[in-house]
Amino acid sequence: MVAAIELQNVSKIYNNVPVVNDLSFSIDSGEIFGLLGPNGAGKSTTIRMIITLTEASGGKITVAGYDINNHRDQVKRNIGVVLQQISIDGELTVWENMEFHGRMHHIPDSQRQKAIARWLDYVSLSDRKDVLARTLSGGMKRRLQIARALLHEPKILFLDEPTVGLDPQNRRRLWEVIRDLNRQGMTILLTTHYMEEVEFLCEDRGRIGIMETGKLIELGTLKDFRTKYGEGLVIKQVDDKIEYLFFPTLADANAYMGGLVDRTGMMCRQSNLEDIFVELTGHQLD
């Protein structure tokens, strides 16, 4: 099976400084993949190279089986992109935003009208089709961006911070949309600063890649990470610092705590993705 996305020894250099350094990984068709890293890790540059907005300094990138340098148009036909910035036209109606995007992709008239109606219904915006986009709430604008990205029926969807700035209810609503798209077979590459977002979306069938200083330092499922670093965690406050002690299981962590005479400033719980991220990078994600 051809990988949906494949990077081989990819690099990007700005002003003699490597921003992405010998990066290699692949994403299977139908997979949901969370790409994480602290600010400056190279995530955004990596995404921009994959979606053809930035040219790589070296290496090879293929998307849906097409080399991005030799078959750029085919790559663009196979991808949908939802960037962090709101990019809809506020002076157009919801329907007109979709119509404009459909015409840019040269979707025939009869097919375009049906597709617009279908995807607006999918993201629950059919009743807002005639209102100006600037009057929509933040969550509705984000859903409109997703509907627009899906209009030309791409095989791969790129989501860059899709729920940033949204309230918890709208974030959860978008999570369900994203997970449903993946269950239907769409490949999704996600970047986010919300750890619980990655845990929710990638827990069942997705992998997570962690970048640091332009390199991929860890790759696997959430289960892989917990097996490798430990499912149990003891947190200890030492002066103004917090120490993390990982254990194979939560029972092991509890046993360790139980054997201590002084447990002041300590607590025990199951490890999560953020704990492992901090252990690997020394940074909080945000």
CA distance 62 to 60: 7
Q: Tell me the pairing of strands 215-220 and 206-212.
A: antiparallel
pTM for the structure as a whole: 0.88
Pairing of strands 232-238, 266-270: antiparallel
Q: Say if CB 95 and CB 144 are below 8 A apart.
A: no
pLDDT tens for the chain, 286 residues: list them.
Answer: 679 999 999 999 998 999 999 999 999 999 999 999 988 889 989 999 999 999 999 999 999 999 999 999 999 999 999 988 888 999 999 999 999 999 999 999 989 999 999 999 999 999 999 999 999 998 899 899 999 999 999 999 999 888 888 888 888 888 999 999 999 999 999 998 888 999 999 987 799 999 999 999 999 999 999 999 999 999 988 888 888 899 999 999 999 999 988 888 899 999 999 999 988 887 654 5
Contact 5, 32 (CB under 8 A): no
Specify the CATH number for 1-78+155-228; select among 3.30.460.10, 3.40.50.300, 3.40.50.720, 3.40.50.1820. Answer: 3.40.50.300
Residue 23, CA atoms < 13 Å, CB-side half-sphere: 36
Chain centre distance of CA 214: 17
* CATH 3.40.50.300 domain residues, the chain: 1-78+155-228
Tally helices (H) and strands (E) across the chain.
10, 13
**First vs last C-alpha separation in the chain:** 36
